[in-house]
Amino acid sequence: MSPPGSHRSVFQDGFAAVWHEPALIAAELTWRWCFGFAAWALVIIGAGLFLDSLKISPGDEFLLGTLQPQLSQEAVRHIFRGSLARFVLEQATLVLGLVLLWSLAAAAGRAATLRRLVAMFSADEEPDTPTWEFVPIFTLQLLRALWSLIAFSVMVFCLVFGTIMAADERALRAGLWLSFSIGLAWAFGVLLNWFFGVAPLFCVRDGVGAMDAVTESVDFVARNAGRLLGLGSGFLALRLVWAATMFLAVLAPLRLAGHLAPGWVTLIMALVALIYFAGADLLYLARLAAYASLAEENSHPTPVFADSAPLEPAQPVELNPELGLA
């Protein structure tokens, strides 16, 4: 985007890439939203199949019809008795299916967008066509999803264990589990998730495998720690402003509750939520484009005296032997 030697920042390059190629945001929204709708469909179907497998006796129906809390709780316990193992198995299968579906969708979508971004920011006059590198990107996305699940599971475990410690009046242990342990698990989860998210850029750009791409992403951070921190802070600020604005916008239709049917109000709120997700995806794509611009800038650094002619070596001074020293 920005030519060599220009002073435009990679932050501006990220948004310039999205503005220059609107098909990028269309491709990003397509694969993300297709996965989102498919995931919600699987969750709803799975919940419906589980609830349909439960057997409700006439006695349970009678207890539920009394609307008494104690009797209703007894009926619910009787309905779900013996179904815990089946529920856990169904949820484990659903989570595994969603992880595989996410990895496939993310690998295809990310390969498509990164190929175009790498080609856009290439400084070569005749750049080579970037390869798809589907298998390494799929491996990275799978590792990213599994690591996110592990980090989330550790955070839930720390929360439960810390709550138990608090109930036993062990304040110090409860504080450590609820603050330090959860914070550490969250930090490691975010850190490795970031590396796995940036590594596909180097798979497409350099044609390397998954582990080599992770290594290159670590080197990329080591060389550009300050600039990456500035980029992350800038995009985080934009994301927070966008989230706050759309949060107020999604609550605005509630004022129309007295004039419109609840279904229409819900539909308007859902449309506003979709606009928020579209903006969030656009910001993520712009940030990825900024990383692509920065990586290309590192590969083709602009020389300090690029426009000046090379200096000729100084000629030695010839002394006349007939002249003496004054």
Identify the residue with better confidence: 54 or 153.
153
Query: 313 falls in which pLDDT band (50, 70, 90)?
Result: very low
Neighbouring residues of 248: CB distance < 8 A, sequence distance ≥ 6: none
Tell me the per-residue pLDDT of 51-81, one tens digit each, with 9 for 90 and over.
Answer: 777 777 787 777 777 777 777 777 777 777 7
Percent share of the chain, pLDDT over 70: 86
Instruction: Note the pLDDT of residue 277.
Output: 93
What is the C-alpha separation between 72 and 77, in angstroms, rounded? 9
When mean pLDDT is compared across 20-34, 124-138, 141-155, 273-287, the lowest value belongs to: 124-138
**Residue 310 confidence (pLDDT) above 50:** no
Instruction: Note the pLDDT of residue 309.
Output: 45
**Residue 321 confidence (pLDDT) above 60:** no
Query: 127 falls in which pLDDT band (50, 70, 90)?
Result: low
Cα R_g (the chain), whole angstroms: 29
Instruction: Note the pLDDT of residue 105.
Output: 92
User: Could you give the 3-state DSSP secondary structure of residue 314?
Assistant: coil
Q: Are 120 and 21 in contact (CB under 8 A)?
A: yes
When mean pLDDT is compared across 80-84, 281-285, 321-325, the lowest value belongs to: 321-325
What is the C-alpha separation between 266 and 44, in angstroms, rounded? 19
Neighbouring residues of 76: CB distance < 8 A, sequence distance ≥ 6: 64
> Which residue ranges make up each domain of the chain?
10-299
Neighbouring residues of 122: CB distance < 8 A, sequence distance ≥ 6: 296
Structural tokens at position 134: 């589907």
What is the C-alpha separation between 109 and 314, in angstroms, rounded? 57
Backbone angles phi, psi at 170, to 5 degrees: -105, 85
Instruction: Note the pLDDT of residue 1.
Output: 56
pTM: 0.79
Percent share of the chain, pLDDT over 90: 31
Inter-CA distances, 262 with 200, 246, 270, 271, Å = 44, 20, 12, 14
